[in-house]
């Protein structure tokens, strides 16, 4: 059923008002939001079809260039492949024409479960050819037939079954967040697909278990390609890369940012004005990563947000354990003493 002009106007005005009053950055990342919204207003309101209206409003909101800001129908349709089937796609030229190629395919997601692998080319959806720039989107709970050309030759018709997300506010299908395996006796691979949860306690434990399972490896690859982000559970992964506490940012409300703040401000009226976020080990490390011999290298980058790390040690660190009372991290068990780095 199409929306009336009055309904579209009401929705559009509400979106503009929410951005003006609720967006975390009052400066709108340098975007003149009022001018932008007014310049596209007539074009967006002219979209009588719900899907076209949704897509145009989403494009407007995307101009803010913030990863967790979007506009979607309550029916959770038109979900990008990255969030719906846990796979990223890239435009490539094949035989003089453009095709979508699957790039990162996360284990535990619908695409991986159906048999899609990195390097496969998308040919058809539901028997209809699909090429860039047409987007590959999905509706939650649907079953979709995709025809792909496999990386090593041959075509396959695969059926993807999309689950219904647990949260209607965040229509994201969750893959296996952490995967660990030994590529060889010396090299371990830790792939992190996302950091689910606001605090990220569960994914932090998964990272610890993955690191522990790779004990004995002298080199480790941390693969974050295609990672969809999430909460602060990523601090646990960062803590394996730092010799001590290291500030990585501040947690600020919009009101506090509008009033201004000092980086070193502490407590006023019982509330912390600029809450420090930090990660790192909380004990004396006389050797190992506290020396300059320990190194971190970027091995490959497919996109600006895709990172592949590698470091080398003579043994991997023991798991980290949080002390609820002291809010400090310690090596667990305490008797596990990290050894000197072997160097890359």
Q: Which tens digit of pLDDT belongs to each residue from 194-252? A: 998 878 899 999 999 999 999 889 899 999 998 888 888 888 888 888 767 766 666 67
- What is the per-residue pLDDT for 117? 96
pLDDT confidence band for 69 (50 / 70 / 90) = confident
Architecture per CATH, 79-161: Roll (2.30)
Strands (E), 211-334: 219-223, 246-251, 267-268, 271-272, 275-279, 297-300, 308-312, 320-323, 328-331
What residue segments make up the domains of the chain, in order of their start? 5-62, 79-161, 178-245+280-331
**Band (344; pLDDT cuts 50, 70, 90):** very low
Q: Are 55 and 79 in contact (CB under 8 A)?
A: no
Predicted pLDDT of residue 72:
76
Record the pTM. Answer: 0.64
> CB within 8 A of 6, min separation 6: which ones?
none
pLDDT number for residue 101: 96
Helix 5-22 / helix 33-45 crossing angle, nearest 10 deg: 160
Q: Which helix (H) or strand (E) holds 147?
A: strand 143-149
Q: Which of 43, 122, 64, 129 is closest to 89 using CA atoms? A: 122
When pLDDT is averaged across residues 311-328 and rounded to a whole number, the result is: 40
Map residue 55 onto helix, strand or coil.
helix
Q: pLDDT tens for residues 137-177? A: 888 888 999 999 999 899 999 999 998 877 666 667 889 99
pLDDT, average across residues 8-12? 94
Return the pLDDT at 3. Answer: 86
């Amino acid at each position: 059923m199409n929306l009336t002009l009055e309904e579209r106007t009401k929705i559009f005005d509400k979106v503009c008002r929410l951005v003006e009053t609720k967006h975390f950055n009052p400066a709108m990342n340098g975007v003149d939001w009022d001018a932008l919204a007014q310049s596209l207003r007539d074009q967006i309101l002219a979209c009588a079809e719900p899907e076209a209206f949704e897509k145009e409003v989403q494009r407007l909101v995307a101009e803010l260039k913030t990863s967790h800001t979007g506009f979607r129908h309550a029916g959770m349709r038109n979900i990008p492949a990255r969030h719906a089937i846990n796979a990223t796609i890239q435009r490539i030229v094949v035989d003089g024409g453009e095709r979508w190629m699957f790039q990162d395919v996360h284990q535990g997601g619908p695409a991986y479960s159906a048999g899609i692998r990195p390097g496969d080319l998308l040919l058809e959806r539901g028997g209809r050819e699909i090429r860039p720039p047409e987007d590959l989107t999905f509706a939650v709970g649907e079953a979709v037939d995709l025809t792909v050309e496999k990386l090593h030759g041959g075509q396959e018709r695969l059926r993807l079954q999309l689950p219904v997300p647990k949260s209607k506010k965040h229509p994201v299908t969750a893959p296996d967040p952490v995967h660990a395996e030994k590529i060889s006796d010396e090299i371990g691979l830790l792939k992190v697909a996302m950091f689910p949860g606001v605090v990220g306690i569960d994914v932090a434990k998964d990272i610890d278990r993955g690191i522990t399972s790779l004990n004995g490896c002298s080199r480790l690859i941390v693969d974050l390609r295609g990672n969809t982000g999430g909460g602060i559970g990523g601090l646990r992964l960062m803590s394996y890369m730092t010799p001590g506490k290291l500030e990585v940012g501040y947690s600020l409300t919009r009101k506090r940012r509008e009033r201004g703040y000092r980086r070193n401000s502490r407590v006023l009226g019982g509330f912390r004005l600029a809450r420090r976020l930090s990660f790192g080990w909380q004990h004396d490390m006389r050797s190992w990563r506290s020396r300059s011999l320990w190194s971190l290298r970027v091995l490959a980058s497919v996109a600006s947000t895709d990172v592949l790390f590698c470091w080398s040690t003579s043994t991997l660190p023991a798991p980290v354990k949080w002390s609820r009372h002291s809010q400090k991290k310690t090596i667990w068990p305490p008797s596990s003493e990290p050894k000197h780095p072997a160097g890359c």
